[in-house]
Structure 1
Amino acid sequence: MRYLVWDEDKNDKLKKERGISFEEVAELLFVGDILDVINNPSKNFPNQKVYVLKISGYVYYVPFVKDEEKIFLKTIIPSRKARKKYL
C-alpha cells in the first residue's frame, strides 16, 4: 500500500493563501471520496495524474505522482471548469 507525502512548506502556503491543506485531501483519499482521477491536462507534466475532489462545496484538482512506495501530492488547485463538470 502506498502512503501519501507532500511538501510541508507548500502545505503551509496553501493554508495561508487558499485556506485548504493536504491533510484535508488525505482524509478524502483515505475514505475514497474521489470524483475522478484524470491525466494532467497540462502538456508540461505528462507523468502526472490529477485527483478531482469536492472540498467544502467546490471542486479542486490535486496533481500527484506516484512510485512503488508513495503518492506525492503536488498542489491543490480550485477549478471552475471542473466545478461545472462535476457538480
Structure 2
Amino acid sequence: MKFDFNHEKNEKIFLERGITFCDVIEAIADKGILLNFDNPNKEKYPNQKILIVNVNDYAYCVPYVIQEGDTWFLKTIYPSRKFKKLIGGQPDEKI
C-alpha cells in the first residue's frame, strides 16, 4: 500500500497538533492499524474511510480515500479519546 498526503496540510497539522502524516505512516508500519472502517457520514463523505492508529501511545483517527493505483490519500489526523481504550488507556484521559 502507498500513502500520499498534502504537504502543506502536514505542516499545519504538525504546528497545531504536534503530529505528522509521516508519524502515522511509521506507526502503521511498526504497529499496524487498530481499526479501519467506513466514515459513518456516508452522505457527506461517500468514499472516505477512517483509520485508527497508535502513535506515541495515543489513538489517532486518520480519514482517507483510496485513489487510483491503490494509493491511500490521508486527509487529516486528530486524537481520539473514544478509541484510546483500544491501546489500553482510559477513554477520558486528556492529551
Fold shared per TM-score above 0.5: yes
Q: In the superposition, relative to structure 1, how do residues 33 and 3 fare at CA in structure 2: closer, same or farther (>3 Å)?
A: same
Q: What is residue 27 of structure 2 aligned with on the other side?
A: 28
The offset of 1:32, in angstroms, is: 5.5
The offset of 1:51, in angstroms, is: 0.8
Deviation by residue 1:24-80 (Cα, 9 ceiling, x = unmatched): 111122346110101112342121111100111211110000123211000001111
Secondary structure of 2:19's counterpart equals coil
* Structure 2 unaligned residues grouped into runs of 5+: 88-95
Q: What is residue 60 of structure 2 aligned with on the other side?
A: 60
* Structure 1 unaligned residues grouped into runs of 5+: none
Which of structures 1 and 2 has the larger relative contact order (alpha carbons within 8 angstroms, sep 6+)? 1
Query: Percent identity at matched positions?
Result: 41
The answer to whether the 8 A contact 2:48-2:65 is kept is: yes
Q: C-alpha distance in 2, partners of 1:27/1:57?
A: 13
| Matching of residues 1-87 of structure 1 within 5 Å | 2-31=1-30, 33-43=32-42, 44-69=44-69, 70-84=71-85, 86-87=86-87
